[in-house]
Every structure is written in C-alpha cells, then in structure tokens.
Amino acid sequence: MNAIQKTKLEYLFAILDANHNRILQLDDFTNVAGRISDQLGFGEQSKARLDLNLKSYRLFVQILADMGKQDISINSDEWLTFFEYFQRTRPKFIQRYIARVANYVFSLFDHNNDQLISREEYINMFKIYGLNEEFVHIGFDKLDQNNDQFISKDELMKGFYEFFLSANEDAPGNWIFGDWRSKRAKVA
C-alpha cells in the first residue's frame, strides 16, 4: 500500500468513526442509519428504519468477520492492516469486499430505489456523514462519468475501486467522500 492509498483509508476510517473515538464500533454504523431515517422521516417504529438499521448492522458484522475479529471494535491500525494484507495477498477478495461496501452505500442513499444516485441523494450522503459540502459537486461531477446528472451503480462501483485501490492522486473516485487529502471531514 502506498502513501496515497493509506491516506485515503485513514480518511475513510475517520468518516466511518461517527462518534470520533478512534474506534469503529456498531454504533458508528447504526447512528448513520438513524440519521438517514430521521432525514427521510422514518418513524421510530417503521419498517424502513428497521431495514436501514439491519443493513448497517450486517455490514459491521461482515467487516468483523472478514477481519477475523473476535471482539466488536476496530482500531485504525487493524483497519489499515486489513486492507494492506488483502490487497497484497488476496486481490480478488478485496475487490469483492469493495463491491459489497459500494452496494451498501448505494442502497443507503438511493432513497427512491431508481438504481441511480441523484445529486440531491449524493448531497444527503455528505450531510449524513458530516462531509465538507464544499466538495459535494466536485465529487458528484467526477463520479458521473457519462454526464447524465446521475451516478449509476456501475459509476459508483468504479469510483469505489479507484478510491480503495488507485495510487493515482487524480483518480475521479478519490472524490467520493470529498477532499480525501484533508485529515477529517467536518465534524457533524
């Protein structure tokens, strides 16, 4: 793993660490589901809220399983070691992993289930994750490769592969979560 890839992974870790305690835990993932539910007006007892919580719960449990973790927290060193090890030893595994994460993010933010992420849905992702909205339009435009004003699942998948795997500083996918060069997204 080179310095660019490491910086991007550290940036993503900081984004996923919703409570900023430098450890990924289940509540980091379920809190995001709760914020999405609140934004979409899903009631506390709604099935839609439960579905989002289940997606978040499953993703976190799957990450723990993929890492072979017995406890239910992930520190930044474990996070970086996981990606470095699998990129080096099992590239097909890491590609499947990236596809799973991309599908998860896509399903969370394709609110109308039209299989496209609109600019509004993309802006909502930035708000939910507390990302610096100054970069939302740059990210959207870079990911929208065919300029149809939507991000398709294929475009998002390509962007995720670039974010996780590319050593090219200028790869369009690097902008999925805003300016990856900053140490942290704005605090929500």
Tens digit of pLDDT per residue, the chain (188 long)?
889 999 999 999 999 998 899 999 999 999 999 999 998 899 999 999 999 999 999 989 988 998 899 999 999 999 999 999 888 888 888 888 889 889 888 888 888 889 999 999 999 999 988 898 999 999 999 999 999 999 999 999 999 999 999 999 999 999 999 998 875 444 44
How far is the C-alpha of 99 from the C-alpha of 85, rounded, in Å?
18
Give the number of C-alpha atoms closer than 13 A to the C-alpha of residue 74, restricted to the C-beta side.
Answer: 28
Q: Which helix (H) or strand (E) covers residue 56, if one does?
A: helix 47-67
Count of CB atoms within 10 A of residue 184's CB?
15
Tokens of 48: 């839609």
Task: Output Rg (C-alpha) for the chain, integer angstroms.
Answer: 16
Cα 5 to Cα 26: distance, rounded to the nearest angstrom: 25
CA neighbor of 165 nearest in space, from 68, 97, 74: 97
pTM score, two decimals? 0.87
Between CA 31 and CA 159 the distance in angstroms is 25
Multiple choice CATH, 3-175, 2.120.10.60, 1.10.730.10, 1.10.238.10, 1.10.10.10: 1.10.238.10
CA distance 31 to 67: 22
Sequence-ordered list of residues with C-beta below 8 angstroms from that of 72, at least 6 positions apart, any chain: 25, 26, 64
Query: Residues of 90-116 as b/e, b for ≥16 C-beta within 10 angstroms?
Result: eeeebeebbebbbbbbbebbbbeeeeb
pLDDT of residue 183: 57
Please return the burial class of 152, using the count of CB atoms within 10 Å of its CB with bins 0-12, 13-18 and 19+. Answer: middle
Phi, psi of 27 (to 5 degrees): -65, -25
